[in-house]
């Protein structure tokens, strides 16, 4: 390997990504078609979250040496970051095919398949990679990730603990254990784990992860609170013609708010004030979405309690307006949580470009169709009327 590569590797080992990139580019100035250097450049750019440039470097590496498995694997990683799961799967499969006895290709293939929610083949790829390197921390954590995505939290925790037994200081493994604790409602332990991970990386704390108690509570309420409002509304509607139906409706109108308050206490009291402090540091759209969702939930519960106390049916009718608002705030929260993800923003931009191109094609089709129809009917054409449909 060249001196530039060794220098870049040494800088990368201490996470000085930009300095490593500069050192590597000096080597590429002498060997611009070196596939290994281009592959490493792609990795360094990906670590700096410049995913389009990382993909371009990986493409150049594949062009320079199509038989280099690491280049295909790095290309798959960049595609995965850009939310191009199908392309990532294809690139990862090529990496695994070129070097089937190395775990690298199988690991990125497992992550790509899991991202596309193909959990069974993802589990097979991850387990195969683990069989090739039984004490690989990356392989153990990849298996844990796949199992977590598939909903097998206990299995995921077992593999994550095995990885930490080998490398107790691994930041991602500790973060994963904390998140798994949270998903199993071990709230206090989860928040302590996330706080320790953030303490070890004060320059880049994961504030979004530390808001999970608020976000998880809202996610659960978005799923079942609308159904609860509909159930009360049905009872209130029936009670307009058959008064005995009002009693179960008013009972449910007390039961559901009580259940929400108990659930909120179960999650938020052990979490303490940390999620609220982190929410203030979250992206603005996510913060407003979460706060708007909480206000909407409070309004719905107030209306249900009001109906339980007074029996006035119009309170339930107003409460029925709450679920669409709650879903809208939920969408804003989910979107805002990914605003700091460059890969998501690039994918969103490409989606927007696709819609614009579709609109332009539709407008052109409409103008052409109108001209053809008028020509067929023998009517005079007019440029002023050649516009998109109303």
Please give the torsion angle defined by the CA atoms of residues 270, 274, 276 and 278, in that order, rounded to the nearest 10 degrees: -140
Question: Of 185, 205, 225, which residue constitutes the final position of a domain?
Answer: 205
Non-local (6+) Cβ contacts of 193 within 8 A are 174, 175, 177, 178, 181
Q: What is the pLDDT of residue 289?
A: 94
Please indicate, yes or no, if residue 260 is contained in any of the structural domains: yes
Terminal Cα-to-Cα distance of the chain (whole angstroms) = 64
pTM: 0.80
The residues, ordered by sequence, that sit 6+ positions from 226 with a Cβ below 8 Å of its Cβ are 322, 323, 326, 327
Give burial (CB, 10 Å; 0-12/13-18/19+) of 366. Answer: middle
281 shares its domain with 351: no
Closest alpha carbon to 182 in 95, 109, 275, 321: 275
pLDDT in tens, 102-157: 999 999 999 999 999 999 999 999 999 999 999 999 999 999 999 999 999 999 99
Structure confidence at residue 352 (pLDDT) = 64
What pLDDT score was predicted for residue 386? 46
What are the start-end ranges of the E strands in 149-254?
Answer: none
Number of domains present in the structure of the chain: 3
User: What is the span of the domain harbouring residue 350?
Assistant: 343-385
**255 and 163 together in one domain:** no
For residues 219 and 250, membership in a common domain is answered with yes
- Give how far Cα 315 sits from Cα of 234, 302, 318, Å: 13, 9, 5
Backbone φ, ψ for residue 317 (5° rounding): -60, -40
Which pLDDT does position 385 carry in this prediction?
44
Its sign, for the CA torsion 325, 327, 328, 329, is positive
**Phi/psi-derived region of residue 151, left when phi > 0, alpha when psi is between -120 and 50, beta in every other case:** left
How many angstroms separate the most distant Cα atoms in the chain?
Answer: 87
CA 195, 199, 203, 204 torsion-angle sign: negative
CA–CA separation, 77 vs 73, rounded Å?
6
User: What residue ranges of the chain have pLDDT lower than 70?
Assistant: 1-2, 339-355, 357-358, 378-390
Question: Could you tell me if 320 and 216 lie in one domain?
Answer: yes
DSSP-based three-state secondary structure for 270: helix
The per-residue DSSP string of 34-64 comes to -HHHHHHHHHHHHHTT-HHHHHHHHHHHHHH
pLDDT of 345? 55
Residues 225 and 261 in one domain: yes
Same structural domain for residues 10 and 130? Answer: yes
Q: Which of 205, 220, 247 is the last residue of a domain?
A: 205
| Residues 6 or more apart in contact with residue 262 via CB below 8 angstroms | none
What pLDDT does 344 receive? 54
pLDDT of residue 108: 96
Residue 310 lies in a domain: yes
Residue 390 lies in a domain: no
């Amino acid at each position: 390997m060249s001196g530039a590569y060794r220098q870049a590797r040494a800088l990368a080992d201490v996470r000085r990504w930009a300095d490593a990139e500069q050192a590597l580019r000096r080597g590429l100035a002498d060997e611009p078609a070196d596939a290994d250097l281009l592959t490493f450049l792609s990795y360094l750019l990906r670590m700096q979250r410049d995913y389009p440039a990382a993909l371009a470097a990986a493409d150049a590496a594949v062009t320079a040496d199509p038989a280099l498995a690491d280049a295909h694997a790095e290309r798959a990683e960049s595609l995965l970051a850009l939310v191009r799961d199908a392309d990532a799967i294809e690139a990862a499969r090529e990496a695994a095919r070129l070097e089937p006895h190395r775990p690298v290709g199988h690991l990125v293939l497992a992550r790509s398949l899991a991202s596309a929610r193909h959990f069974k083949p993802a589990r097979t790829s991850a387990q195969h990679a683990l069989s090739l390197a039984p004490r690989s921390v990356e392989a153990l954590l990849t298996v844990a990730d796949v199992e977590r995505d598939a909903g097998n939290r206990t299995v995921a925790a077992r593999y994550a603990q095995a990885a930490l037994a080998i490398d107790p200081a691994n930041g991602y493994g500790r973060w994963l254990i904390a998140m798994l604790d949270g998903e199993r409602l071990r709230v206090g332990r989860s928040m302590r784990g996330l706080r320790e991970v953030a303490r070890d990386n004060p320059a880049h704390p994961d504030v979004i992860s530390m808001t999970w108690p608020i976000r998880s509570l809202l996610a659960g309420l978005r799923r079942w609170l609308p159904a609860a409002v509909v159930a009360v509304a049905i009872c209130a509607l029936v009670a307009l013609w058959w008064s005995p139906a009002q009693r179960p409706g008013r009972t449910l109108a007390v039961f559901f708010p009580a259940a929400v308050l108990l659930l909120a206490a179960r999650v938020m009291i052990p979490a303490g004030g940390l999620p609220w402090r982190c929410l203030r540091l979250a992206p603005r759209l996510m913060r407003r979405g979460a706060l708007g969702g909480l206000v909407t939930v409070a309004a719905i519960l107030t209306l249900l309690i009001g109906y339980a106390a007074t029996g006035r049916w119009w309170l339930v009718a107003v409460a029925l307006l709450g679920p669409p608002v709650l879903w809208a705030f939920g969408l804003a929260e989910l979107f805002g949580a990914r605003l700091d993800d460059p890969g998501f923003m690039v994918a969103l931009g490409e989606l927007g470009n696709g819609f614009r191109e579709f609109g332009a094609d539709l407008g052109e089709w409409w103008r052409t169709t109108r001209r053809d129809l008028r020509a067929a009917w023998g009517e005079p054409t007019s440029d002023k009327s050649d516009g998109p449909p109303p």
